Amino acid sequence: MSHGPAVGGGDPAALAGALAAELGAALEGAGLPSPRVALVLGSGLGAFADALEGAVTIPFEALPSMPSSTVPGHAGRFVLGVVGGVSVLCQQGRVHLYEGHSAEVVTRAMRSLPVLGVHSVLLTNAAGGLAPGWPVPCLMRIRDHLNMQGAVPPMEGRGRQARVYDEAIGRALAAAAVDQGVDLREGVYAGLAGPTYETAAEIQMLDRVGAQAVGMSTVLEANAAAGAGLRVGAVSCITNPAAGIAVAPLNHEEVVEAGKQIAGDFARLLGAAIPAIGAL
């Protein structure tokens, strides 16, 4: 569980700055260079970080300003290492509004990254699919999102951004998919507050407003990162048909298992895209 100021009040900028200082000290202590690219690895997708070159692990619990997740499939640690010559900071797991956290806590790590020298962030998640005919599981590059969580993060730096997802990162992901023979769809991600899965009526609504995937994360982090001046990209792992159209009841264990099934494609996509993203 989180401790210290992670669940308390206080100035949002000061709390993000405290986390940046803690991470910076941990990086320096491990003798690692400042990361150029940061990744957030969602449910069932954390294995990518285990293959980083020269990996060094820092549990969230070692950082008093960093909240810890209670959700299965979220390891709750940072992994620092190298991918294709690019220094990378991987966040294995995240916290969510439905765990009782505020928008400030959910986005604190994102808002700390510019202080560390990070210039690009790639967010990933597990999501339900709305597009008929798409295979399950599959990968989808998020080109835009719908924030339906009823919350917004603290805004610093450049403030509110109408265009959140960086086109150059999108092109890097698309090129990596072609290079690696990975089937990468693209679409709009709808972020709901959770923790309940979607009803059939909610899925009909999301389909009508143009969503191809739905989940309970990412949108606040993306807004906060873009507002802080970072380039932002995102990939959803479509792990199942969305709850309102699924034949059988869903459970989180199936979501994690689907992430494992597509882990090979996911790793090859990120491994090929990160060098290009790091060069932006």
User: Could you write out the DSSP letters of every residue in 112-169?
Assistant: HHHHHT--EEEEEEEEEE-STT--SSEEEEEEEEEEESS------TT---S--S-HHH
3-state secondary structure of 28: helix
According to the model, what pLDDT value does residue 37 have?
97
Burial of 3 (0-12, 13-18, 19+ CB in 10 A): middle
Is 74 an annotated catalytic residue?
yes
Q: Which of 2, 147, 217, 236 is catalytic?
A: 217
Can 145 be counted among the known catalytic residues?
no
Say which residue the tokens 């790793």 belong to. Answer: 267
| Rounded average pLDDT over 27-39 | 87
Write down the pLDDT at residue 255. 66
Burial class (CB in 10 A: 0-12, 13-18, 19+), 53: exposed
Specify whether 43 is catalytic. yes
Residue 122 CB contacts under 8 Å (≥ 6 apart), including other chains: 37, 38, 39, 40, 169, 233, 234, 235, 270, 273, 274, 277
Q: Is 217 a catalytic residue?
A: yes
Mean pLDDT over 247-271 rounds to 77
pLDDT in tens, 99-153: 999 999 999 999 999 989 999 999 999 899 999 889 989 999 999 999 999 999 9
Give the C-alpha separation, 254 to 269, whole Å.
22
For residue range 207-226, list pLDDT tens digits in order.
999 999 999 999 999 999 99
CA-nearest of 80, 107, 82, 75 to 26 is 80
165 is catalytic: no
Does the active-site annotation cover 257?
A: no
- Whether residue 240 lies in the annotated active site: yes
CB 240 within 8 A of CB 54: no
Question: Token pair for residue 138?
Answer: 């599959």
Q: Strands 120-129 and 231-241, how do they pair?
A: parallel
The catalytic position among 18, 68, 96, 273 is 96
Distance CA 252, CA 43 (A): 9
pLDDT digits (tens, 9 = 90+) for 69-110: 776 656 789 999 999 999 999 999 898 999 999 999 999 999
> Of 22, 55, 98, 156, which residue is the catalytic one?
98
Report residue 178: phi and psi, to 5°.
Answer: -65, -45
Percent of the chain at pLDDT exceeding 70 = 88
For residue 158, name the pLDDT band (cuts at 50, 70, 90): low
* Confidence band for 4, pLDDT divided at 50, 70 and 90: very low
Report domain 4-278's class: alpha beta
Neighbouring CB atoms inside 10 A of 90's CB total 26
Options 2, 43, 68, 236, the catalytic residue: 43
- Within the chain, what is the greatest distance between any pair of CA atoms? 52
List 126, 127, 234, 272, catalytic entry: 126
Catalytic residue at 147?
no
**Percentage, residues of the chain above pLDDT 90:** 61
Q: Which of 119, 252, 254, 257 is catalytic?
A: 252
98 an active-site residue?
A: yes
Give the mean pLDDT of 243-261: 66
State the Cα torsion 166-42-260-187 to the nearest 10°: -40
Pairwise pLDDT comparison (245 vs 89), residue with the higher score: 89
- The reported pLDDT for the residue numbered 6 is 39
Determine which one of 66, 68, 74, 272 is catalytic.
74
Catalytic member of 112, 240, 246, 272:
240
CB 160 within 8 A of CB 222: no
The yes-or-no answer on residue 140 being catalytic is: no
State pLDDT tens for residues 169-180: 999 999 999 999
Tell me the mean pLDDT in the region 25-53.
87
Spot the catalytic one: 216, 224, 226, 228. Answer: 216
pLDDT value at position 219?
A: 97
pLDDT bucket at 164, cuts 50 / 70 / 90 = very high
